[in-house]
Structure 1
């Protein structure tokens, strides 16, 4: 009994100690809670969570701003790409138009007979005997103002019916030039243009109210223009003249040693690629004749018949803007640039008249010889006309002092004879240059 009682007492003491410890732990826990609550009224983890939220917010904002910047840059890139695409598309369209024009020009440059079929768009039956006439007027090229926009604007103002008189001049021919444009003005020809090859001529034309065009600087051309001989300057005109034709204008190319008595545009036929003054002095030499070559050692075949014509004058001719005409200018300019010793008039006639033969393709250009008494060279005037009472009554269109070196004095005499009516004005000059 005593042992059981002791055991119960011990158990009660143990339980009482456990309760005391639990109570003490609770009290300590409550006190610690109050202490930390006082130190951290928002809780131990509140600051960390708030910082995390703040960081997340900042990161999101940065991402949004970054996204907006990237979007703006991307939009700008896309706009730039669109603009670039538009420009490329425009260039492609221009190239397509250019190719179409070149294709059309190539078609225009085909064989003349085939081209006429294209133009007429139908085949034609042959008419009665003696009524058939071939078509010899080549179609004009498509104008291309991009070749020389500045010249295009000048020609648009000065030319009439897409036609113009053009002359090259440098300071060496200043006296003759004054006689030249003075008589052009007197006749009343508005569509003419001086291509000035130096500052002196440009200023001289402007001071006299003469339409003038000064080419853009060209080292090779400028050197010849300012210091070259008359033949060297003459060679330049074929290259310069090409631009006029490319722009779609027919040109009456004129040297300066020419006196105008009438308007030449009233006396042109315009049915050929080239319509030129002749160096011939009568009907046979100007328009063609049968020249017999005699070689006695050939016996029965000693006489060989040839067809001859005196050369065209490269200082006065009317040229239409056609493919054969431009090909002629290219051929002449190329040969003259490769050999400066060549005479431009000789090359001009060779390319115009030489037929196709082995190793050479001739030029398929139509041509017409001008009336030698209307478009008169100085050999016709001084050797024949001034000595014939009937021929003296004729009124020429132009007189070209091409056969004589004393040009200025003879030009003044021509003006006195045909304009001022002085019948003896030509008498003091010899036929030639002796």
Structure 2
């Protein structure tokens, strides 16, 4: 019995030890499982099928976005595109300002070299005088209302300006219609009466109505072309004082390209010519013959046909403002044609009893800035010249202005080849 009891005790003891070991193993296994689960919740191996399931779920959830959310995303994309476009415009504007600043820096350097300390002349062929006078300091107190308007419409401190009253309403419509077609936005109509102001506003045209000016207001409202032309010199002065360069335009002009792309900006005044060929437009040596003088019968003269006072670019410099003052003053005292006075003040040299104007001048290309004599007498009859596209055509040589303006539009814009054929070279 004793032996059997010992055997049973031994078996129970072994069984207890085995159970304990199993319990410990189970506990360790559970503990390791918890640790693995904590550090790797998705397991050590993720099947391709599971990955595809997750991605599919994401794609489905994206495709199931509400229409409102889709519209919001589209709006955000469009907004981003618009901001990107605006940033490009700003960068372009900054680059142009930098170019102008560098140009201005160059002019300032020239000014300092010429007017600053004395210096020796350089080698032959290297010496150049000052070409461009510096701009005046803008003074907005001259006309705060005009200053605010110009700040909104001018581009790089430049603007096209035309004066108009009711007498030229139909031509004005042709004028601004083609300005818009070309894509010029920096232009301004100076309305000389209420009807023109209302007409411009109804056609979405930038307009400036002058304050009443005693003594000249009657000219503004009822004056003809020459009277209004004389008035413009007084009005232009304020634009220059405010620091803006002005491309002064008569109303009988058809715009076919943007003139600011063809301006040199190296002179105080840059004007189109009334000349009709290279000699008359740009100057020539005209020999005067006086036979009774015998050996000295031939006298050489320098001639140039006049600048057109109906289309010129003028910079805000002291010589430019002095020119406007001189012309306006003479026209207020003399019965004279404004274009003749304009040219006399520009070209007459200083002489006893008279101080000439020290202004830099440039003549525009006569085929780009074309007068109507060049067009109707020469260009329309020449197969090669007909293919050229001018920047503007000024119907200054002919009284039937509106009809010829419309014909110019038909010829150059609508490409009607016979549009100019019915008109005589000159006036009837």
Class of the TM-score when normalised by the shorter of the 2 chains:
0.7 to 0.9
SS in 1 for 2:215: helix
Which residue number corresponds to residue 268 of structure 2?
273
Q: Which of 326, 329, 337 is residue 331 of structure 1 equivalent to?
A: 326
Instruction: Provide the C-alpha distance between the structure 1 equivalents of 2:118 and 2:379, rounded to a whole number of angstroms.
Output: 48
Q: Which residue does 2:341 correspond to in 1?
A: 347
Aligned to 2:211: 216
Secondary structure in structure 2 of the residue aligned to 1:364: coil
SS across alignment from 1:286:
helix
Contact 1:277 1:313 in 2 (8 A): yes
The residue aligned with 2:242 is 247
Instruction: Give the structure 1 partner of residue 258 of structure 2.
Output: 263
Which residue in 1 is equivalent to 2:382? 388
Deviation at 1:220, TM superposition (A): 1.6
Say if 2:353 is the partner of 1:359.
Answer: yes
What is the number of residues matched between the two proteins?
322
The alignment's TM-score, normalised by the length of structure 2, stands at 0.73
Alpha-carbon separation, structure 2, partners of 1:126 and 1:118: 11
1:174 to 160, 169, 172: 169
Cα shift at 1:117: 3.4
**What corresponds to 1:369 in structure 2?**
363
User: By how many angstroms is 1:394 displaced?
Assistant: 0.6
Is the aligned partner of 1:284 residue 2:279?
yes
Query: TM-score if structure 1 supplies the norm length?
Result: 0.72
2:112 to 112, 117, 122: 117
Q: Indicate conservation of the 8 Å contact 2:280/2:303, yes or no.
A: yes
Rounded Cα–Cα distance in structure 2 between residues aligned with 1:227 and 1:393: 40
Measure the CA separation in 2 of the matches of 1:153 and 1:179: 27
Uncovered stretches (5+) of structure 1, i.e. residues with no partner = 1-111
* 1:135 CA drift (Å): 1.6
- How far apart, CA to CA, are the structure 2 residues paired with 1:118 and 1:232? 43
Larger Rg: 1
| Structure 2 runs not aligned, ≥5 long | 1-106
Are positions 1:317 and 2:307 aligned together? Answer: no
What's the secondary structure of 1:219's corresponding residue?
coil
Whether the 8 Å CA contact 1:288–1:310 is kept in 2: the answer is yes
Alignment partner, residue 398 of structure 1: 392
Aligned partners of 2:326 and 2:345 also within 8 Å? yes
Conserved? CA contact 1:117–1:123, under 8 Å: no
Asked if 1 retains the 8 angstrom alpha-carbon contact of 2:327 and 2:338, the reply is yes
The aligned counterpart of 2:414 is 420
Distance 2:116 2:342 in 1: 34
Residue in structure 2 matching 1:195, options 153, 167, 190: 190
- Aligned twin of 1:305: 300
Alignment match, 2:405: 411
Q: What is the CA-CA distance between 1:129 and the residue it aligns to?
A: 1.8
